[in-house]
């Protein structure tokens, strides 16, 4: 059954690809795009086939502006996908209150309007940076997660369900390291890496979109969905682009982790394991076998990493998504 979608951050990497997935698969009866950048909205409008344009509505707006959200989100919306956020770590560290206004206050605005309009489902797009955060971006996304989960309690008579999709670095998204390395391969003498021991999770845009879409169908409210992802060594990623190029170590940046964490030990205490993902639930909702609370799910502890060859293949397969 087709549904109506409202997508915050609809012109970002994830938002655009979710939109493309929905209209190409003929899965939406209405798509409302909400974002701040009028130029990117124009580019997106131009890319949509003429026979699909009738299902779209475009709103210029900021999630900080609750009144604008109130106008843009109508009662016929079935699903809100909340992907808008400030996410570049150096920028968020330098502009902390602006990050709070967008990632926390903006999220609360989305929640309150969703409840007011009695929207059926709302899902937050989160990040591994929200787990045991050491930077402001991660801290604000952790807070956004807490707001989304708590909304299931304070929503009153509203039937809106709030859940979260949390995953790792998206291959080819705006601000990811691959486009930086591709540019350095053409223009610089060496790849710049902050720490040679660094590891990261990875997911393609296509897989991220499919993961979120599938979780929207099954969500009951209060879940944090976490996919089982491959991880890689940052040095291997550089080698996958050019194995002969030098690597220059520049020192770890403020707010940067050596290894990312997707689920912390406490969360494993109330997590259910599925074939391709984990589902973290409030303690009171756990019915099945509880996982070992000594576990942790980070980009290093599995001990298996994507090979240089596999990384090279993934990059080539996803070149269309990289910023030029």
Catalytically active residues, by annotation:
129
Q: For residue 76, give both structure tokens.
A: 């016929």
Q: For residue 7, give both structure tokens.
A: 């997508």
Three-class secondary structure assignment of 119-162? CCEEEEEEEHHHCCCCCHHHHHHHHHHHHHHHHHHHCCCCCCEE
Q: For residue 140, give both structure tokens.
A: 């604000």
Q: What does the alpha-carbon distance between residue 40 and residue 225 come to, in Å, rounded to a whole number?
A: 29
HSE-up of residue 292 (Cα within 13 Å, Cβ side): 4
Strand, coil or helix: 232 = strand
Contacts with 47 (C-beta within 8 Å, 6 or more apart), sequence order: none
Three-class secondary structure assignment of 191-229? EEECCCCCEEEEEEHHHHHHHHHHHHHHCCCCCEEEECC
Q: What does the alpha-carbon distance between residue 223 and residue 87 come to, in Å, rounded to a whole number?
A: 23
Q: What does the alpha-carbon distance between residue 226 and residue 85 come to, in Å, rounded to a whole number?
A: 19
């Amino acid at each position: 059954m087709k549904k109506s979608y409202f997508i915050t951050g609809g012109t970002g990497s994830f938002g655009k690809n979710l939109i493309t997935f929905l209209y190409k698969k003929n899965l939406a009866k209405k798509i409302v795009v909400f974002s701040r950048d009028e130029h990117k909205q124009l580019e997106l409008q131009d890319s949509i086939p003429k026979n699909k344009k009738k299902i779209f509505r475009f709103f210029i707006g900021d999630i900080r502006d609750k009144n604008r959200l109130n106008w843009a989100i109508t009662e016929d919306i079935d699903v809100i996908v909340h992907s808008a956020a400030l996410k570049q770590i150096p920028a968020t560290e330098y502009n902390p209150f602006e990050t709070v206004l967008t990632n926390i206050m903006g999220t609360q605005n989305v929640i309150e309007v969703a409840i007011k309009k009695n929207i059926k489902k709302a899902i937050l797009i989160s990040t591994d940076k929200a787990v045991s955060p050491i930077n402001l971006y991660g801290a604000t996304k952790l807070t956004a997660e807490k707001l989304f989960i708590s909304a299931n309690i304070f929503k009153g008579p509203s039937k809106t369900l709030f859940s979260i999709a949390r995953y790792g670095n998206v291959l080819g998204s705006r601000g990811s390291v691959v486009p930086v390395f591709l540019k350095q391969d053409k223009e610089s003498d060496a790849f710049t890496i902050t720490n040679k021991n660094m590891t990261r999770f990875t997911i393609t845009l296509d897989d991220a979109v499919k993961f979120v879409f599938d979780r929207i169908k099954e969500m009951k409210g209060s879940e944090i969905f976490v996919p089982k992802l491959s991880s890689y060594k940052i040095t291997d990623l550089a080698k996958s682009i050019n194995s002969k190029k030098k690597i220059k170590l520049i020192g770890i940046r403020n707010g940067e982790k050596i290894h990312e964490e997707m689920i912390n030990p406490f969360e494993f205490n109330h997590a259910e394991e599925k074939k391709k993902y984990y589902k973290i639930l409030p303690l009171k909702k756990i019915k099945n076998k509880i996982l070992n609370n000594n576990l942790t799910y980070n980009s290093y502890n599995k001990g298996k990493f994507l090979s240089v060859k596999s990384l090279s293949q993934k990059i080539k397969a996803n070149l269309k998504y990289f910023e030029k």
